[in-house]
Amino acid sequence: MNSLREFCYEKLNKDPQDLMKSNRMWDKRAKEFSKSSKKNEVNYVDYLKHFVDLKGASVLDVGCGTSDYLKILLDESAVVEGLEPSKEMRKIGLNYLKDNGYPNVTIYHSSLQDFEVSKKYEYVFIANSPAISYYENYEKILSLAEKGILIGSWLDSSDSLLDEIARRLHIVPKKHGGKDILYFFNLLLEDGYKANFQTVTRQSSVMENALNSLERYTSWFYGPDYNYDDLNRVKDIIMELSNEKGEVLIHKEATNAIVFAEK
């Protein structure tokens, strides 16, 4: 291996993402996700504001989900459009924006891979999206951003309930976290971008009704095509571990990485 670029390329040069399978999962999980996402995420927009005056800036939110970050960007007076391949996530996101005073926001029903709009945006915003896990998206992201790119993603995470379910099921779960953002960061440096990097680590111990996150936990064990029987297996374990109020004490730790790169 001759260069850092080749190393990063090799790590990100994967088989194309199965978008149909991914969208089926997010269509199933959309309602549950929308109820929990607004209280659990790092505010990547705050980091972006250290470098950018968002007032009037054009921004594309890639994989905008249920529009949590998109709304925050709009609240900062940015001119924002979204990109979301899941029909149900997009639907919930549009309704959320409408309920909060933003009835006319454009969210394209498309993956980044299939996005064909030719215009550019001053900034591309990517929060917790698998788009950064594939080299095929790298050049497209660069081509869409006139001035800069913000990427936020998990580096690592732990969840005591997830660990206990794994022990009982004898299945290794696919958890949040990975080094793909590091490969993107180094590629941006190789291409002459001024890139800033920060990590944020959060810890918590809380009593939760884990059944409110049943589909999330199930998908981590059985993948995008989890079924009714899979849900019931995980549900039975959660109920065994819950107290009379239906709550479980969960210890969590997550480390997120944030990259802002500008030309």
- Domain contains 111: yes
* CA–CA gap between residue 142 and residue 144 (Å, rounded): 5
* CA–CA gap between residue 166 and residue 249 (Å, rounded): 16
Which amino acid is located at 241 in the chain? Answer: L
* Span 153-198, pLDDT tens digits: 999 999 999 999 999 999 999 877 789 999 999 999 999 999 999 9
- Domain contains 193: yes
* Span 85-144, pLDDT tens digits: 999 999 999 999 999 999 999 999 999 999 987 889 999 999 999 999 999 999 999 999
Measured in degrees and rounded to the nearest 5, phi and psi for residue 86 equal -80, 125
Which residue segment(s) compose the domain that 112 sits in?
4-157+175-202+254-262
Domain count across the chain: 1
Q: Is the pLDDT of residue 1 over 60?
A: no
Strands 107-108 and 79-83: parallel
- Domain contains 207: no
- Domain contains 208: no
Could you write out the three-class secondary structure of 141-156? HHHHEEEEEEEEEEEE
On the 0-12 / 13-18 / 19+ scale of CB atoms within 10 A, 25 is middle
In the three-class reduction of DSSP (H, G, I as helix; E, B as strand; rest coil), residue 189 is classed as: helix
- Domain contains 213: no
* CA–CA gap between residue 197 and residue 195 (Å, rounded): 7
> Could you tell me if 126 and 62 are in contact, meaning their C-beta atoms sit under 8 angstroms apart?
yes
CATH number of residue 22's parent domain? 3.40.50.150
DSSP state of 224: T
* CA–CA gap between residue 114 and residue 215 (Å, rounded): 27
What's the sign of the alpha-carbon dihedral 7, 12, 13, 15? positive
- Domain contains 192: yes
- Domain contains 10: yes
- Domain contains 187: yes
Triad 200, 201, 206: Cα angle to 5°? 135
